Amino acid sequence: MDAVKKIQVDIDPNVRQRAASNPQESIWVGASAGTGKTKVLTDRVLRLLLPRADGRAATKANRILCLTFTKAAANEMAVRINKTLSRWAVMDVKALTKVLKDLLGALPSEAQLETAQRLFADVIDCPGGLQIMTIHSFCQSVLGRFPLEADLPPNFDLLDESLAGEMMRQAQSGVLERLQSPEYANSPLGNALNALASDLDEASFTNLVRGVCQERHQLSVLFDRYQNADGLYAAICTHYDIDQNMSATDVVASLCQEGQYNAASLRLAGEAMLQDKGKNAPISGGKIIQWLDASYEQRIALYDSYKGVFLTKEGEVRSPRGFPPKSAEKIYPQCADVLREEAERLINAQEIIKRAKSAQMTRDLLLIGDAVLQDYMQIKRAQGMLDFDDLIIRTMELLNGKTESFSRLSETDFGNITPWIMYKLDQGLDHILVDEAQDTNPEQWRIIEALCEEFFSGLSARDNTLRTSFTVGDVKQSIYSFQRAAPEEFQHMQGVFDAKIKNAGLVNRNVALDISFRSTESVLRVVDTVFQNPVLNEAVGGGDIYHKSYRAGQAGLVEIWPLIEDVKDEKKPFWDLPVRVMNQKSGAAQLAAYTAQNIRNWLDRKEILKSANRPIEAGDIMVLVRSRSAFVDQLVRALKIRDVPVSGVDRMILGQQLAVQDVLALARFCLLPDDDLTLACVLKSPFLGWDEAELFSLSYNRRGTLWQEICNFDQDKIAAIEGHPDSVPCVSDEKREIARDYLSRLIGRARYLGTYEFFSHILNMACPADAHSGLRAIRGRLGDDALDPIDELLNAALEFGRENIDHLQIFLDHQERKSTEIKREMKEGGSQVRIMTIHGSKGLQAPIVIMPDTIKTSAAKKGGRMLWPNKTDLSVPLYSPRQDDDPQAYKAIYQQCNDLEEQEYYRLLYVAMTRAADRLYIAGYQGSKRALDSSWYFKILDAMNNDENCEVLENGHIRIENEQDASPDKVDDVGSVEVTRAALPDWALSCAPEEPFPPRPLIPSRPSIDESEAALSPLIASNAQRFRRGNLTHKLLQFLPDFEVSERENAALKFVHKNAQDLSEKVRVSVVYEVMKVLSHPDYAPFFSANSMAEVSVTGLMSDNRIVSGQIDRLVVGADEIWILDYKTNRPPPRDPKDVPAIYHKQLAAYRDSIREIYPTHNINCALLWTDGPFLTIL
């Protein structure tokens, strides 16, 4: 134990970490995996927020910019800083002093202590707060500040990947459709499309065009440099040393001209070969003579046949063994030399043809790609949208003064505007921190470089402010070349930054972090040994690869399992009938089962994870693969069969998930019930749960569609089914009727419900397979993994409804055309086995890592065939469609690019191995294709076999292990708690009881469905006019009492003339006359006195839970008596109270009951005031 403590003191990482987090210097950090990169970033931000030891003021939070590679990294860093600041805010001085001493390496000053205690509040209150974001988020904020300067609409929006892909497909379809029109028949674009279409299939063409569009910045630079595609084509021809517009026909025609070949010598050679007694030589000799005797035009036609005499199908010179035969050489001793000379001439011609084809196809592909790209940009521009590449490119152009707005400025204005933008940005920045710099692509580096160009210049830097940059990365972990990141760019920018900072008279320091807090000694030992191999060492940057483990004394192991191969098929007789299901035991399936069984064994025997002093849990295990191949599905299936909790894969295609397919199938059936195949899928889905036999009994010998069969099942079929030789049971009537009723209800709802509402109804309501809900039925069949896809489907439905016409059919069509990829966050500390790609695991770790995907075969996918200048260091791009068409100059460059990809393949291995904290398991499987010696499996196997600590176990596993020699360092503060799942109460699985009354309030003045007013004579005015008259009467009786008596009639006439112009003069006058009679009647004067109220709204909850909501026409509240008055304009009005419609009685009764709740001791009178009279009816 003492020895372990001494080792940890000797390799104290705090020294280098403090040097890296020093806020007084600019730092470039090379941080190996697991060396505390995030902690160093966090410490530097914290130290920037504190006053300096020399008395300089602290940096305000909004003057720090931290650029991360992913949103997850930005969130993690922000959470760490906020947690630290929140702890500082409540610490006592003694504890805070100790913490700050560890951070600063010295006792903190009073100013530092005081600032630390209030930093939490200061950061929260600071406008803008800490700027910790991805570079894309930063670019979005910059473009949002300067949209007009960047040629953007101020309200631009951001495209997600799926919508961007859909727009790209739309642009490509538009270009292809446009080029089919006659006007483009002989245009450069039309000719380019015809040339490409004759040589490429649709999938290859689509992928190539998409690849060109992804390199839009390089394409733009090339077209600017060479003016247009023709200028670029000329440069490619110069590179290939060929004439422009040279075609294969031109080369062959030149080759066949007399004088271009040695006719006499070739004739002698041909005649000599004709005399050979063998089979092939006379044929070849005859072809030579035939070609020589032919006319010029015939020689061109016979060229391919003639060429085949000298060259193989692969385009190589035929082997001298047997060509020419010895008999021919005896007849004509110079025969071999003549044939070899002609073969070399043809080889050179073929090389020129290949160069010409490569140059032309490169030009054509760039022409089509640029046309698609222009359409794509136009579609985005029309909708005010940007994609993620636009954010980077537009910001880079803005900061470097390359936008169209700048190009229209005069030199004087241009010279002022760019520094102004940089100055405005720099006004808010004092310190820049860049995380995962090795994954930054060239365009992103140009943005960072532009910031730092002004960052340390006298034009924009503020006086007396020390400004620094901090960059952290690791060339060994550069694995994002598909996003155009490259380790060479990382190393180049290290020199650029160093020069800029030192030229500004400031300090720049390089700090290396190689003390791992993550992995045990055994894991790091194997990593170091593997990368001592010269090929692998060059891939990770060269030099000594040596990691120190801070976890000295913690148990660890690396184990490699035997390579699993496909089981060879047994030979079957030729006439063996295909009546048995054969289980193909592929290597992948075997390894999936073997891996799952090992995990199951660890869990069953409660194998101890010694560094944590507890049994291994499923959440401790992470399986890493290079790609999401079929093996991943096999492994998930094998784990589920063994009841091992598994979280599934880290990315999924929404439409490929079984749960989503079941829901969408049900939706498609509801729209088209006669679709038999869809209905069959629905019947077997989790919602209905039919088996094959029940489906067969419904389908067998049916007379119409399946749906018709469900709705009208023929009982006579039962006897036929029962008499079937396979004894198939018939579906029960009850089950069929339940399915019919369930599906019928859904068909009806699909006609009027929105997409989200329809899916919610399916998932929340009971279904035939589950009495509680459809979601529960899906979960019961497919497990918890089905929940995430269902949530994403609902999110997609909601988003679709907001942006499109919300109709189920349109949504289904949209889903079929759209490939939605869902990215799932695989966080640490879960309770399930995680299966991830190595790229997705970047920044994560696990106690136990299993690497089953370590074999690379001869069928492995090679790099793209479009070679861009940023990969080749050439001034032009090059393309060749296939290996047989590759010119020699292209082959050399292509091999260089493949070598670079091979290096990234090994850097990916470094990332995978260093995810393991305690244990690393290596496995591999081999199919029918040959495993390459460059496979990870063999490199690790060689390294472990050469290690003196290597141990071969009885089961064939090879292991390197170190025992637990120190106290466990990963023991949880809280002991393991056994989680028991409580049963849900009964009400949770029951439907809510029906509401006792309608959910809408009772409005006394409106009749319910089964009530109506007294019928009027058809000779009386129509209902519309009656309501119009009533509304005018109510309005006049509302406001006229507030006027003086002498002014009422004049005010009434003005009102009706203005607001009732649709009524005749006679009707308007009659309304005013009727109202004036009411107001002038002496018996009704108390109702319109100053103490009365008009149009009184009343709402109340009655004792029987009725909600009453209405409006009383006139309310008079006295000392002990209340009058409720309601106007009625019925014509003619009933004279006898018994003839008053019942609805009026109910209306006033509801008003009375409501008012009584307010005035329980008053005497309440209710009356109807009939305006046609007028007269009063007391009820």
Q: Are residues 1153 and 1173 in the same domain?
A: yes
pLDDT of residue 721: 54
Going by pLDDT thresholds of 50, 70 and 90, the confidence category of residue 206 is: confident
Which of 815-824, 1047-1056, 1105-1114 shows the lowest mean pLDDT across its residues?
815-824
Domain hosting 845: range is 556-568+585-634+829-962
pLDDT of residue 422: 66
Q: Are residues 360 and 430 in the same domain?
A: no
Tokens of 1008: 């319910």
Residue 364 has pLDDT above 90, yes or no: yes
Q: Are residues 505 and 610 in the same domain?
A: no
pLDDT of residue 574: 61
Contacts of 1060 (CB under 8 A, 6+ apart): 1028, 1032, 1067, 1068, 1071
Residue 379 has pLDDT above 90, yes or no: yes
Nearest to 635 by CA among 850, 788, 848, 829: 850
Q: Are residues 802 and 692 in the same domain?
A: yes
Q: Residue 219, SS3? A: helix
pLDDT of residue 828: 58
* Greater model confidence, 921 or 732: 921
Q: Are residues 181 and 223 in the same domain?
A: yes
Residue whose entry in the numeric block shows the structure tokens 């009467």: 1033
> Does 537 fall in a domain?
no
pLDDT of residue 733: 81
What CATH number did the domain enclosing 761 receive?
1.10.486.10
Q: Is 72 exposed, middle or buried (0-12, 13-18, 19+ CB in 10 A)?
A: middle
Percent over 70 (pLDDT), the chain: 87
> Does 535 fall in a domain?
no
pLDDT of residue 323: 83
Tokens of 597: 């069984």
> Does 624 fall in a domain?
yes
pLDDT of residue 743: 93
Q: Residue 1156: how many CB atoms within 10 A of its CB? A: 14
pLDDT of residue 799: 86
Helix, strand and coil percent figures for the chain, each rounded to 5: 55, 10, 35
Last residue of a domain, one of 913, 928, 962: 962
Q: Are residues 15 and 141 in the same domain?
A: yes
Nearest to 1150 by CA among 1092, 1108, 1093, 1103: 1108
Please compute the mean of the pLDDT values over residues 429-452 and round it to a whole number. Answer: 88
Last residue of a domain, one of 356, 383, 410: 383
Residue 1008 has pLDDT above 50, yes or no: no
Which of 114-123, 426-435, 492-501, 619-628 shows the lowest mean pLDDT across its residues?
426-435
Last residue of a domain, one of 383, 401, 436: 383
Residue whose entry in the numeric block shows the structure tokens 């090994």: 906
Phi, psi of 544 (to 5 degrees): -75, 125
> Does 1000 fall in a domain?
no
What does the pLDDT look like over 867-899, one tens digit per residue?
Answer: 999 888 899 999 999 888 899 999 999 999 999
pLDDT of residue 576: 63
Write b or e for each residue in 1080-1092: b if 16 or more Cβ atoms lie within 10 A of its Cβ, otherwise e: ebeebeebbeeeb
How far, rounded to the nearest angstrom, does the alpha carbon of residue 1046 sit from its chain's CA centroid? 76
pLDDT of residue 1014: 43
What CATH number did the domain enclosing 1089 receive?
3.90.320.10
Residue 698 has pLDDT above 90, yes or no: no
pLDDT of residue 979: 52
> Does 95 fall in a domain?
no
Nearest to 592 by CA among 622, 621, 553, 623: 623
Going by pLDDT thresholds of 50, 70 and 90, the confidence category of residue 410 is: low
What does the pLDDT look like over 212-240, one tens digit per residue?
Answer: 888 888 898 898 899 888 899 999 999 99
Q: Are residues 394 and 374 in the same domain?
A: no
Q: Are residues 420 and 377 in the same domain?
A: no
Percent over 90 (pLDDT), the chain: 33
Going by pLDDT thresholds of 50, 70 and 90, the confidence category of residue 1015 is: very low
Please compute the mean of the pLDDT values over residues 470-477 and round it to a whole number. Answer: 92
What does the pLDDT look like over 1072-1128, one tens digit per residue?
Answer: 988 898 888 888 888 888 888 998 888 877 766 677 888 888 999 988 899 998 988
Please compute the mean of the pLDDT values over residues 1130-1156 and round it to a whole number. Answer: 83
Q: How many domains does the chain have?
A: 5
Tokens of 117: 């205690």
What CATH number did the domain enclosing 860 receive?
3.40.50.300
Q: Are residues 710 and 840 in the same domain?
A: no
Going by pLDDT thresholds of 50, 70 and 90, the confidence category of residue 46 is: very high
Going by pLDDT thresholds of 50, 70 and 90, the confidence category of residue 1006 is: low
Segments of 100-187 assigned E as strands: 131-134, 157-158
pTM of structure: 0.77
What does the pLDDT look like over 524-534, one tens digit per residue?
Answer: 999 999 999 99
Residue 459 has pLDDT above 50, yes or no: no
> Does 108 fall in a domain?
no
Cα-only R_g, the chain: 42
* Greater model confidence, 733 or 1001: 733
Q: Residue 550, SS3? A: coil
Which of 160-169, 231-240, 743-752 shows the lowest mean pLDDT across its residues?
160-169
pLDDT of residue 461: 44
> Does 574 fall in a domain?
no
Q: Are residues 140 and 231 in the same domain?
A: no
Q: Are residues 1067 and 1135 in the same domain?
A: yes
Phi, psi of 427 (to 5 degrees): -60, -25
> Does 1011 fall in a domain?
no
Tokens of 532: 């001592």
* Greater model confidence, 379 or 1060: 379
Please compute the mean of the pLDDT values over residues 662-683 and round it to a whole number. Answer: 93
Q: Are residues 1113 and 1167 in the same domain?
A: yes
Please compute the mean of the pLDDT values over residues 289-312 and round it to a whole number. Answer: 90
